Amino acid sequence: MSRLAFLLLALVPAGTACLTPKLALMAPVSALDVNAPADAALVVFVRESSACDGGEAFRLVDENVRFVGESAPASKFSVRLPAGRHAFFAWQPSGDLPPDQFPFVNQVGAVEADLAPGHVYYVTVAIANDRFGIRKTCSNYQWIALRLVDPGDADLKQTMSGAQAWVPDTAGGQRVVDAERDEVIRHMELGKRKLRRP
């Protein structure tokens, strides 16, 4: 075997491992249930892969500081919620600009919606900052956007078809959220600022 062939074989497992997200608070499933129960709403969170994506998971909580799930590149998961007004907040736990040095920077994604029972809603989780500058390089820090999208959207259908289905570890995720409550609240406050914008 040539040295080049050996090096290529050695790199394949490492490259493949990078493609599979490591989600401590989620479990993979073979298929995603997208049928809303008659007495509750179903919200499907879906994230595509981006050229500026570092592969990190984004944490999601709702307006009541409840763990919703983790969103990795090319992933999807759903949660059942009671009907009514809900807000969702997402951020990258290890990817913030230092708040003491950049107090006015807001990297948190937020979305708010009125949810009706028996309906399915789709929220895209995306990196809001794209490549920039002459060299079209990616920022070291990620700004996150949450958007409520129409289920008939062509881009949504394509992203859904290529995304791995996951199910949240609700109890484990809530323990993490409770343990990091001050940081969670800080991120939620940043998200609420976005929701208050006209």
pLDDT score of 136: 61
Give the confidence band of 9 by pLDDT, cuts at 50, 70, 90.
very low
User: At which residue do the structure tokens 């990190």 appear?
Assistant: 56
pLDDT score of 133: 47
Tokens, residue 188: 């939620």
Burial of 17 (0-12, 13-18, 19+ CB in 10 A): exposed
> Which of 92, 88, 87, 61 is CA-nearest to residue 178?
61
In CATH, the architecture of 23-196 is Sandwich (2.60)
59 CA to centre of own chain: 6
Give the confidence band of 106 by pLDDT, cuts at 50, 70, 90.
confident
Sign of CA dihedral 162, 86, 42, 95: positive
What's the mean pLDDT when you consider all of the chain? Answer: 85
Q: What is the pTM of this model?
A: 0.84
Cβ atoms within 10 Å, residue 3: 7
For residue 88, list its beta bridge partners: 62, 111
SS3 content of the chain, % helix, strand, coil (to 5): 25, 30, 40
Q: Where are the domains of the chain?
A: 23-196
What pLDDT, in 10s, does the model give residues 67-76? 999 999 999 9
| CA distance to 37, 90, 113, 183, 194, per residue, from 93 (Å) | 32, 9, 24, 9, 18
What pLDDT, in 10s, does the model give residues 165-192? 999 999 999 999 999 999 999 999 999 9
What pLDDT, in 10s, does the model give residues 11-53? 333 333 334 456 889 999 999 989 999 999 999 999 998 777 7
